[in-house]
Amino acid sequence: MALSDLKIRKAKQKDKPYRISDGLGLSLQVRPTGSKLWHFRYQFMGKEKILSIGQYPIVSLADARAKRDDAKRLLADGQDPSVQKKLDAIDAHVKARMTFKEVADEYYDNLVDRGLADATLRKKRWHIDDLAKPLHSRPIDQITAAELLHLLKPIERSGRRETAKKLRATISAVFRLAMVTMRAPADPSAALKDALLPPKVKGRAAITDQAEFGQLLRRLDEYTGWPVIPAAMKFQILTCTRPGEARGARMHEFDLEARTWTIPPERMKMRREHKIPLSRQAYEIALENWSEIGGVELLFPSLQSNRKLLSENAFNTVLRRLGYSGQEVTAHGFRVTASTILNSREHNPDIIEAVLAHQDTNAIRRTYNRTTYWDQRVDLMQVWADLCDQFRSEPSNLTQQ
């Protein structure tokens, strides 16, 4: 006789376990402790087996019958329900271990192997370890777009729109890796592209007025702190490089006879070698800071150790001590200064872009520019250095060239 919920609830425990049959192999075992367990008895390959289905009332009578029917369908297909249950448990365990953090760490290791810049790696590590922490233990194939939006929106509302955008990009890259390695069916972050507000575009703070820039150069000449820092800043200005590229300048990168400085790909933002012709002024700064001490590689070493780089904030700290706020000028803004002034004087924009090592999206033009503009770049770098000397003089002496 088939069971009912009333009959199950009235079944009392005895000194020994006993079973109440529901039919078609399904039965309920009542234990001396009072617990009630569902069992399905079946024959497979001539042997009698028992499949545990779960405990009542967590598994209801209807659920137990459904699980029995599922098991009977497996038997009809020639499969052992007990074996399939173990395989399902293993699969669930494996999937539970395929967390966002595990895939994200694998993604990060790939970036390291590709040789990305240290600054980029630090930012990705921050995205993964700190900002995406709520996702760490989540199985990656179970994360939803709504869950990601819940993570990103508070960051956006705090005013960090650019951070929210870049974090979404990092998360998307992690999901793409999960997809190609069969650990996630799709990238839920793709649905969020239009759900986030666009970042407020803010250019690098820079001085573009010639007289004001000349005043900054004069103040830099008068700086009384550790002399290596203003020397490195002047070298950065004259070579139109990024602060990190100037701070990391190593003596083996220089050919003093040819008066060139070649920055290797691993230290460039675009990951390609950049060869810079040194103006007379830049060459003199390099000579003044050249060290013959064995083991010293850096042209502009830290005060703490001649084997350590100047800190990332060294240049901007000097600018603040000179009286400039972060809204007026930053070390990154010196490239904007050079580009603006040189363009205003109608120098060839392609040569200016080559000087700044900007990536031309046209591969043919990019190759042409790198091979053809060397002589023009040599001339322009000297023009720029001479202009800086001119700006450094009194404003009344400034003339357009």
Query: What tokens does 16 get?
Result: 């020994």
Whether 368 sits among the annotated catalytic residues: the reply is: yes
Positive or negative: CA dihedral 30, 33, 37, 39: negative
The residues, ordered by sequence, that sit 6+ positions from 388 with a Cβ below 8 Å of its Cβ are: 217, 237, 238, 281
d(CA 235, CA 364): 31
Q: Does 150 participate in catalysis according to the annotation? A: no
The SS3 assignment for 262 reads strand
Cβ-proximal residues to 305 (8 Å cutoff; 6+ apart), any chain = none
Q: Long-range contacts: 23-31, Cβ < 8 Å, 24+?
A: 24/68, 24/72, 25/68, 25/72, 26/53, 26/64, 26/65, 26/68, 28/3, 28/56, 28/64
Selected catalytic residue, list 358, 366, 370, 392: 358
d(CA 249, CA 61): 75
SS3 for 228? helix
Query: How does 223-239 read in b/e, with b if 16+ C-beta sit within 10 Å?
Result: beeeebbbbbbbbbbbb
Q: Exactly one of 39, 250, 275, 332 is catalytic; name it.
A: 332
267 catalytically annotated: no
Active site residue 242: yes
Query: Of residues 242, 247, 274, 347, which has the active-site annotation?
Result: 242
| 335 is known as an active-site residue | yes
Residue 277 CA to its chain's centroid (Å): 33
Which member of 136, 153, 269, 366 is catalytic? 269
d(CA 60, CA 48): 25
- Whether residue 161 lies in the annotated active site: no
Angle at 268 between CA 263 and CA 274, to 5 degrees: 40
Q: Is 369 helix (H, G, I), strand (E, B) or coil?
A: helix
Residue whose tokens read 């109608």:
346
Angle at the Cα of 57 (from 55 to 63), degrees rounded to 5?
A: 80
**Of 31, 308, 321, 368, which residue is the catalytic one?**
368
Secondary structure element (H or E) that encloses residue 22, with its range: strand 18-23
**Could you tell me if 72 and 78 are in contact, meaning their C-beta atoms sit under 8 angstroms apart?**
no
Q: Which residues are catalytic?
A: 242, 269, 332, 335, 358, 368
